[in-house]
């Protein structure tokens, strides 16, 4: 990446901000490869996503902020700190996700269960994260009230999915793919 940043005009002019769209796109391509169950596609897309990490780290390194080794050390340290049942003598927690969220909340000094949930997540994924965080932190998610409001009805479905252990975003993507398949079948039949 250092060589590309020196030798390629396009790579040289990129910034963290200019690469955001590519980062999001590559992340979504990894999701598609996972959902398609294609190992060759997953291998390729994970490489493309890793390229984004390396690219951002190189930009930061050139700005004297941090480098790829700092990124790797940071994630390794985080994993050790959040897994004391593996790397220290603490017992395995009954609720792994709640334990992870509690450690994360304490280490980041968060005051609300909602702190740190990205605003740009899709609405379904954000709703599921808000509901899950609320449950994990013991705050309790308000029970939806019957409503004609479409947003409230969708939120009630996300709550139902969470209660059943279903990822609302993945379930919706699967349903959309099935709808697309039926549309294409109808187009070719008609």
- Condensed to tens digits (0 to 9), the pLDDT of residues 171-189 reads 999 999 999 999 999 999 8
**Quick one: tokens of 165?**
């252990």
pLDDT of residue 95: 85
pLDDT given at position 17:
97
Residue ranges per domain, the chain? Answer: 117-190
- Give the pLDDT confidence score for residue 83 in this predicted structure: 92
pLDDT digits (tens, 9 = 90+) for 67-95: 999 999 999 999 999 999 999 999 999 98
Integer CA distances (angstroms), 26 to 19, 135, 153, 163, in order: 11, 31, 31, 30
Q: In the prediction, which pLDDT does 139 show? A: 61
Cα dist from 118 to 9, 121, 129, 133, 185, whole Å: 32, 6, 10, 13, 37
Low-confidence spans in the chain with pLDDT less than 50: none
Q: Provide the pLDDT for residue 86.
A: 95
Identify each DSSP E strand in 6-127 by its residue range: none
């Amino acid at each position: 990446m250092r060589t590309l940043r020196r030798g390629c005009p396009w790579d040289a002019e990129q910034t963290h901000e200019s690469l955001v769209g590519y980062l999001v796109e590559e992340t979504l391509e990894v999701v598609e490869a996972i959902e398609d169950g294609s190992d060759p596609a997953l291998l390729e897309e994970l490489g493309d996503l890793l390229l984004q990490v390396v690219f951002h780290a190189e930009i930061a390194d050139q700005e004297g902020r941090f480098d790829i080794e700092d990124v790797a050390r940071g994630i390794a340290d985080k994993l050790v700190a959040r897994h004391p049942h593996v790397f220290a003598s603490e017992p395995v927690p009954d609720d792994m996700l709640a334990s992870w969220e509690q450690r994360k909340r304490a280490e980041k000094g968060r005051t609300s269960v909602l702190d740190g949930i990205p605003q740009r997540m899709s609405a379904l994924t954000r709703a599921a994260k808000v509901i899950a965080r609320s449950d994990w932190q013991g705050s309790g998610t308000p029970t939806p009230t019957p409503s004609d409001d479409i947003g409230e009805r969708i939120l009630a479905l996300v709550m139902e999915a969470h209660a059943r252990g279903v990822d609302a975003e993945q379930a919706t993507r699967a349903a959309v793919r099935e709808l697309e398949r039926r549309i294409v079948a109808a187009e070719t039949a008609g």
